Amino acid sequence: MNTDKRLLPAFLLCLFLGSLGLHRFYAGKIGTGVLMLLTLGGLGIWTLIDLIMLVCGAFKDRNGNKITQWT
């Protein structure tokens, strides 16, 4: 399935505001976005993992669809 979400905005949100979980809110993952917000991105570890997943193309939206298109 296709998703309307793009990698570039998710990557930039994760890179600059990853500890606030804004990239997860963008992807529609509200629950884990709130958890990242409360834990400051798992003290940075969770943010780093998400950055790697975004670069590798393994990050998914709330419906389980991989976000693969950069623009």
pTM of the model: 0.90
Is there a domain that residue 70 lies in? no
**What is the rounded average pLDDT of the residues 48-54?**
95
Is there a domain that residue 1 lies in? no
Q: How far is the C-alpha of 1 from the C-alpha of 20, rounded, in Å?
A: 28
Label residues 32-47 b or e (16+ Cβ within 10 Å = b): ebeebeeeebbeeebb
Is there a domain that residue 24 lies in? yes
Is there a domain that residue 14 lies in? yes
Is there a domain that residue 69 lies in? no
Is there a domain that residue 66 lies in? no
**What is the rounded average pLDDT of the residues 37-49?**
92
- How many domains does one find in the chain? 1
Q: Sorting pLDDT into bands at 50, 70 and 90, what band is 37?
A: very high
> Which domain does 18 fall in, by range?
7-56
